[in-house]
Amino acid sequence: KLAPLIAPSILSADLARLGEDVERVLAAGADLIHFDVMDNHYVPNLTFGPALCEALRRYGITAPIDVHLMVEPVDALAQAFARAGASYITFHPEATRHIDRSLQAIRDAGCKAGLVFNPATPLDCLKYVLDKVDMVLLMSVNPGFGGQSFIPSALDKLAEARALIDASGRPIRLEIDGGVKIDNIRAIAAAGADTFVAGSAIFGTRDYAATIAAMRAEIAK
Ligand code: DX5
Ligand code: ZN
């Protein structure tokens, strides 16, 4: 199993001081910066695009940026994020016509590629592209907003995804996104996740370092 990574979602950061807040959360021990891209089409909310990703790079952020595309269509924006300095780019399979081609295009652009599954979306297509994914992201809320509650059925689904990943023998990250908190992260890790997105649970606290340390301690239990 891969080392656990904590991925704060900047959806809940101080957007008027984003560069500083991202530096603060990285200094507090974050591993990845989770970057939620919403288009008011695939999801009923609107956030940020490649220009902001590029601005964070220009500001001096060198940590991996984990771009979660909640957009339709996928391919042109994925390429724009690759040029803007994204590290991981994940998309929802139902938002593209040609899943294999979209994954390959992200890899050809030099990024790690991944698929995101909504709470009620089956993992069916995953087995055909296990050789082309670097990350599997399971949504434990319906995408579109931060601060929602964790949907418990995501735990069984994590176990299902974990079995597929382990059988592949490939170093694929299993990421969970939505409602992750100090008090449920242990069960989430036990179900098989190794990469943990948390927005409100980190940015909603005063002491990011204490929160991230508490999460790591729970994962290690
Ligand atoms: C939801 C986003 C999540 C969200 C998580 O569409 O993909 O990344 O920001 O927020 P919390 O951790 O507050 O549930
Ligand atoms: Zn996300």
DSSP letters, 9-74, are BGGGS-GGGHHHHHHHHHHTT---EEEEEEBSSSSS-B---HHHHHHHHHHT--S-EEEEEE-SS-
Residue 160: helix, strand or coil by DSSP? Answer: helix
Give the residue numbers spanning the domain of 90: 5-220
Q: 0.90 exceeded by the pTM?
A: yes
Question: What's the gap in Å between 189 CA and the centre of ligand 1?
Answer: 17
Q: Which residues are annotated as a binding site?
A: 9, 34, 36, 68, 144-147, 177-179, 199-200
Q: Which residues are annotated as a binding site for a divalent metal cation?
A: 34, 36, 68, 177
Q: What is the dihedral of CA 110, 115, 116, 122, to 10 degrees?
A: 180
Looking at the DSSP bridge assignments, the partners of residue 88 are: 66, 112
CA angle 165, 64, 109 (to 5 degrees): 75
Rg of the chain over Cα atoms, rounded to whole angstroms, equals 16
In the sheet where 33-38 sits, what is the strand order? 5-8, 195-198, 173-177, 135-139, 112-117, 88-91, 65-70, 33-38
Question: What's the gap in Å between 9 CA and the centre of ligand 2?
Answer: 7
Q: Whose CA is nearest to atom 6 of ligand 1?
A: 143
ipTM topping 0.90: yes
Question: What's the gap in Å between 66 CA and the centre of ligand 1?
Answer: 13
Q: DSSP H helical segments within 43-153, as ranges?
A: 50-59, 75-83, 99-108
- Residue 111 has what DSSP assignment? -
What's the CATH number where 48 sits? 3.20.20.70
Is residue 218 in contact with ligand 1, taking CB distance under 6 Å?
A: no
Give the separation between CA 1 and CA 73, rounded to whole angstroms.
33
pLDDT per residue as tens digits for the range 148-184 = 999 999 999 999 999 999 999 999 999 999 999 999 9
Give the separation between CA 196 and CA 200, rounded to whole angstroms.
13
Is residue 12 in contact with ligand 1, taking CB distance under 6 Å?
A: yes
Is residue 92 in contact with ligand 1, taking CB distance under 6 Å?
A: no
Atom of ligand 1 nearest to the CA of 148: 14
Q: Give yes or no for residue 26 having a pLDDT over 90.
A: yes
Question: What's the gap in Å between 143 CA and the centre of ligand 1?
Answer: 7
Q: Check whether the bond before 171 is cis (ω within 30° of 0).
A: no
Task: Indicate the number of domains in the chain.
Answer: 1
pLDDT per residue as tens digits for the range 42-69 = 999 999 999 999 999 999 999 999 999 9
Q: Which residues are annotated as a binding site for substrate?
A: 9, 68, 144-147, 177-179, 199-200
pLDDT per residue as tens digits for the range 64-119 = 999 999 999 999 999 999 999 999 999 999 999 999 999 999 999 999 999 999 99
